[in-house]
Chain A
Amino acid sequence: MSKHLINPDKCTACTSCVAHCPVTAATRKFRGPKMVGPALERMRLSQQDEDPSLEYCSNCKNCDISCPSGVPISTLNMLARAKHFESNKQSLRDNILSHGEQMAKLSSAIPGMSAITNLGMAIGRKSGMLELVGISGKAPLPSYAGESFIKQFKKLRQENFPDKVVFFPGCFINYNDPQVGMDFVAVMQKNKIEVVIDEEFVCCGSPLVVNGYLTEAHDNAQKNTDIITKWIEKGYPIITCCTSCGLMLKQEYQELFALDAVKTNAKYMYDSLEFLTILKDDGRLNKSFTKFDSKYIYHAPCHLRAQGFGLPALEVLRLIPGLTIEDADAGCCGIAGSYGLKADKYDISMSIGKNLFDRIIATGVDTAVCDCGTCRLQIGHGAKVKTIHPISLLSKAYS
């Protein structure tokens, strides 16, 4: 338990986080993770002390990754932001960006509505309406899929297997990129595993936390944790394909909220690619891949790197004969969920991603592989290449 205790005094002020913070590198308006996080937290413990530059933290977690002392710096920032919004009101923009799930539910409830929503966004972009509320007209806004993952899944006939897993799709896969979910099911089926979904799951809460809606996020955390507990008690592992959902469900729920069940649940929660490496180590991964003759570049999402188990996608994809994939290893893409969509953060976000874009462009590949949905949007936007989730690439290799 003590390892998750938030203790700003563990910070030795070594500045490793400052040196590795992509936002600090991109803008001088941000005072940096050490100052805004642990240094100010000591003040906050005795009195309300706010730093206006706190709004620049993107919660990308490179500070946590680089901290040698285990200080959850980004979480300190998110808690301070929530404190700020206890007595201040979020903008309409932040409200919209935090509640994508509600918008998505509306547009997927009525047949054809997603097309109208997408059209609305396109008009909003062209007419300057988006800029008016503070959403960048240049940013890579996600579009809504014609049919959500859950709807598509329910039409699917799976082969039954004794081994079953519960899939937590998350908002992005469910509403924006359902093919990733379908590919996940296909890959599991190839490995003689049946996928179960639970329609009661709600948004993991990540977009709520970054915009200061901590109470709402706590409600979501409680709901999801109760559902997960129920499935884990039945012996089902929980799998995510979205690295930010995975991080939130397993780790940030522990850091932000005192939910005892998460600590036990997290033992049975897996990232989809990590789950496949475990199958591989157990000698039960289906390796009957078709031969590929293509080159890819891989971008590791920061929220995957923060989880401390390496880059399982590379380990699995490199089993595909003829496929070559190199690690871009070029840092944060800059989008950090909804951060790069905000008009006043767009330039920062693109400046952060420049390293990665240049790296991808220099390799000359036409497709970049990445586990995170919003990273994929940003890469497509910044490097002008196609993007794919590793599970989708794997699914192709099985067919």
Chain B
Amino acid sequence: MKSDLLIIGGGLAGLFSAAVAAKSGRKVHLLTYGAGTLTIGGGIIDVLGYDNDAKPLKTPEEGLEKLSANHPYQKIGKHTLEKALEFFKEISIEEGYEYIGELGKMQWLPTAAGTLKPTCLVPKTMDARVLWHTNNIYVVGFDYLKDFYPQLVAKNLQKVYGPYTTITAEMCSLNFAEGRDVSSLDVARWLDTKDGREIFIKQLKNKIKPKGVVIVPPILGTLPNYEVLDSLERQLDCRLVEAAAMPPAVTGLRLRMMLLSYIKKLGVTVIEKALVTTAITENGHCTAVVTDNFDRQRAYQAHSYILANGGLYGGGLKAEPGKFIEPIFNLPINTPATIEEWSNVNLFSDKKQLFAEIGVEVDELMRPVSADGATLLSNVHVAGRNLSGYDFCYEKSGNGVALASAYKAAISLQGRDEYE
């Protein structure tokens, strides 16, 4: 089966590039092995939070110009980044799960540790701006729910919002009769039900003063819509804010569902549990990629390919003593031979980590290049975490680079007629 575009990877970069390409009328196949790290991520779009000296930026936009020349954003350009964010927001509106925010504004989101983290686009359940406009913040935890301790969150946030804001920790009891440890996903499933919402409201109704804002872990329903948020805000007469918390982060699940729903409506074929192991290339042109299953290998042909299968964690890059490997196309990865140089002595230092910045080097159309800058494959584009030149964890740019590079890759595909 031949398609216009074959995408390797079902994370944010893979799904978003599928959306861009399918929207422009291309026939897209997407191969995914596992549900992707998107599932367990926070589901928010960080674009750029800190500068090279670990100083928080006023806005993501402000930091763009100061990035080094090999940073993906420099190659992609601010204009394309903006268009990518715009299209992402359009999708979210169309799917009934609107994301809010813009490049010119930093959003500071409370976390389960009671700190704030900088981000750019968030679902409406994480609109933390309201926290600056209230005198009463309530942090609500749930009995049995580990990894979210309202007292800790309240105590640390007090330092952020100052002495004139009253921050109260509250507990909500779950009527779970039996069973395993409780995760935020369990609580989200509970709030999906009418019973769960009624019990939640009953316990909080009298505790919350008018115009108060309630911080909860990511529990406001499992589906990418605002039914749970709207219903609870209406009945409690307050605003609710989901904090960034531990996996399984329900917000990541919702984001994945939203994008899958969008691309499937556009006719994208998603093939699950398909592990791409090799590619067939001829004269700098990819003719097929090959999956290796328990039974046999299968070749998938397309006019163009987008490689978006992640970095070390997602499986798109592999580290071996002295070298990094890109296993499918065997692309060159510039890596210092001595492993000691890959990282700082202090893992949690205030410097970027080289191991995080190692990745595939690309040209202006996101195609892989050799050490001397020559384009290696004319119809293969790279997007997302396997790109070189950025430490997403340090600067808080992971999903922003994923969206921007995916968008750039998908609009850089050459026309079908060029191959026919």
A308 touches B36 (CB 8 A): no
Q: In the complex, are the beta carbons of A309 and B293 less than 8 A apart?
A: yes
Instruction: Give 1 or 0 for each of B175-198: 1 = CB within 8 Å of chain A CB.
Output: 011111101011001000000000
Per-residue CB proximity of B268-300 to A under 8 Å, as 1/0?
Answer: 011111110000000000000001111110100
A95 at the interface (CB under 8 A from B): no
Q: Are A308 and B253 in contact (CB under 8 A)?
A: no
Asked whether B370 is an interface residue with its Cβ less than 8 Å from the other chain, the reply is: no
**Bound: A277/B298 CA distance, A:** 12
Chain B residue, CB-CB nearest to A329? B264
- Closest residue of chain B to A271 (Cβ to Cβ) is B295
Q: Which A-B residue pairs are the 6 nearest by beta carbons?
A: A28-B179, A68-B34, A308-B273, A66-B35, A310-B271, A251-B294
Residue of B40, B176, B183, B274 contacting most chain A CB atoms (<10 Å) = B40
Stretch binding the partner chain, chosen from A14-22, A128-136, A159-167, A228-236: A14-22
**Residue A91 lies at the interface, judged by CB distance under 8 Å to chain B:** no
CA distance in complex: A179, B16 (Å) = 43
In the bound complex, do residue B33 and residue A70 qualify as a contact, i.e. CB atoms below 8 Å apart?
yes
A31 surroundings in chain B (CB, below 8 A): 179-181
Report if A99 contacts B (CB, 8 A): no
CA separation between A306 and B176, bound complex, in Å?
32
User: Is the beta-carbon distance between B294 and A19 smaller than 8 angstroms?
Assistant: no
Query: Are A15 and B1 neighbours in the complex by a CB distance under 8 Å?
Result: no
Between A19, A30, A64, A269, the greatest number of chain B beta carbons within 10 A of the residue's beta carbon is seen for A19
Q: Are A19 and B271 in contact (CB under 8 A)?
A: no
Q: Does A291 contact B (CB under 8 A)?
A: no
Instruction: Please indicate the chain A residues that have their CB under 8 angstroms from the CB of B56 in the complex.
Output: none
**How far is it, in angstroms, between the C-alpha of A139 and the C-alpha of B323 when the chains are bound?**
56
- A:271-300 near B, CB below 8 Å: 277, 281
A19-B39 contact, Cβ under 8 Å, with A67-B34, A305-B273, A309-B271: yes
The reply to whether B37 and A18 contact each other, CB–CB distance below 8 Å, is no
Task: Establish whether residues A18 and B185, one from each chain, have CB atoms under 8 Å apart when the complex forms.
Answer: yes
Query: Within the assembled complex, what's the spacing in Å between the Cα atoms of A14 and B33?
Result: 14
Per the bound structure, the CA–CA distance linking A4 and B295 in Å amounts to 11
> B269 — which chain A residues lie within 8 A by C-beta?
310
A77 near B: Cβ within 8 Å? Answer: no
> Contacts A19-B39, A251-B295 hold; do A53 and B34 have CB atoms under 8 A apart?
no
Give, as a whole number of angstroms, the nearest-CB distance from B177 to chain A. Answer: 8
Q: Is the CB of A16 within 8 A of B34?
A: yes
Output the residue of B272, B274, B294, B296 with the most chain A CB within 10 A: B294
Contact A19 B293 (CB under 8 A): no
Interchain CA distance A25-B269 in the complex, whole Å: 26
Residues of B within 8 A of A267 (CB): 295-296
Q: Is the beta-carbon distance between B295 and A3 smaller than 8 angstroms?
A: no
Shortest CB-to-CB span from A227 to chain B, Å, is: 17
Cβ-based interface call for A218 (8 A): no
Hey, which chain B residues are within 8 Å of A29, CB to CB? 178-180
A256 to chain B, nearest CB (A): 12
Smallest Cβ distance from B327 to chain A, in angstroms?
13
Q: Select from chain A the residue with minimum beta-carbon distance to B293.
A: A308
Whether B253 pairs with A266 at a CB distance below 8 angstroms is no
Inter-subunit contact A307/B273 (CB<8 Å): yes
User: B247 contacts which of A14, A20, A250 (Cβ < 8 Å)?
Assistant: A14
- Can you list, as one digit per residue, whether each of B120-152 has a CB less than 8 Å from chain A (1) or not (0)? 000000000000000000000000000000000
The 8 Å CB contact of B176, one of A28, A53, A269, is: A28
Which residues of chain A from 296 to 332 have a CB within 8 Å of any chain B CB? Answer: 305-310, 315, 327, 329
Give which listed residue, B176, B183, B275, B298, contacts A70 with CB less than 8 A. B275
Knowing that A28-B186, A29-B179, A254-B294 are A-B contacts, what are 9 other residue pairs whose CB atoms are under 8 Å apart, sorted by A's residue number? A12-B313, A14-B37, A16-B39, A18-B185, A30-B180, A255-B294, A277-B1, A307-B294, A308-B274
For A20, the chain B residues whose CB sits under 8 A away are: 35, 39
Whether A68 contacts B274 in the complex (CB less than 8 A), given A15-B247, A18-B248, A266-B296, comes out as: no
Can you sample 29 A-B contacts with CB below 8 Å? Answer: A12-B313, A14-B37, A16-B40, A18-B183, A18-B248, A19-B185, A19-B253, A20-B35, A28-B176, A28-B177, A30-B179, A30-B180, A31-B181, A65-B273, A66-B35, A67-B35, A68-B33, A68-B35, A68-B314, A69-B315, A70-B275, A250-B294, A266-B295, A281-B1, A307-B273, A308-B293, A308-B294, A309-B298, A310-B272
CB-defined contacts of A329 to chain B, threshold 8 Å = 264
Residues of B within 8 A of A266 (CB): 294-296
- A89 → B minimal CB distance (Å): 26
Selected contact of B179 from candidates A14, A18, A27, A251, CB within 8 Å:
A27
User: How far apart are the CA atoms of A31 and B292 in the complex, in Å?
Assistant: 31
Determine whether the beta carbon of A305 is less than 8 Å from that of B264. Answer: no
CA distance A64 to B177 in the complex (A): 29
Q: Are B293 and A15 in contact (CB under 8 A)?
A: no
* Contact yes or no, A19 B273, CB < 8 A: no
Residues in A whose Cβ lies below 8 Å from that of B181 = 31
A12 to B269, CA, bound (A): 28
Min CB distance A7 to B, Å, is 15
Within 8 A of B (CB), among A44-91: 53, 64-70
Q: A4, A64, A310: which has the most chain B beta carbons within 10 Å?
A: A310
CA distance A250 to B294 in the complex (A): 7
Tell which of A255, A305, A308 touches B275, judged by Cβ atoms closer than 8 Å: A308
Chain B residues with CB below 8 A from A15, complex form:
40, 183, 247-248
